[in-house]
Amino acid sequence: MPGRKVLVVDDDDDIREITGVALELMGGWSVVDTDRGATAVRLAVEEQPDLVLLDVMMPDLDGPGTFRLLQQDPRTRDIPVILLTAKVQVGEGRLWDDLAVAGVISKPFDPMGLVEQIDRLLERHRSAARSRLSA
């Protein structure tokens, strides 16, 4: 799908760089990035990306807090969000369990398979949204 834009939000410079390069070169995405949740909210309004890749653990405003702010704004609430996390927990009490995110990608991830992984999560997210609308 040409012309897709992604906002990558991660406080790790290397993750932002690797993610951006993988998405640009292998997926044709246009990439905007930041290392702060508050900046991500502003950029999401300004840039209107097709997707937000959002780190869970960040200083100041974490991923779940950033996601909640995006959901509160009618200009950004329909942008799919995929969480990036090194804190994949098995069982109960994950930080994102109560969030309607499009998916979760664990770090470290394979940059060569990132585009395909994102595409699968977005398709699943779109299918679920269509199901909810037709119900």
H or E element: which one contains 69?
A: helix 63-72
Q: How far apart are the first and last CA of the chain?
A: 28
- Which domains does the chain show, CATH number per domain? 5-134 (3.40.50.2300)
CA–CA separation, 123 and 14 (whole Å): 27
Average pLDDT over residues 40-51: 98
Which residue do the tokens 């299918």 mark? 127
Q: Which pLDDT tens digit goes with each residue over 105-125?
A: 989 999 999 999 999 999 998
Across all residues in the chain, what is the average pLDDT? Answer: 89
Residue 54 pLDDT class (50, 70, 90 cuts) = very high
Residue 90 pLDDT class (50, 70, 90 cuts) = very low
Structure tokens at 110: 């394979």
CA–CA separation, 112 and 98 (whole Å): 30
CA–CA separation, 90 and 81 (whole Å): 21
Above 50 in pLDDT, residue 93? no
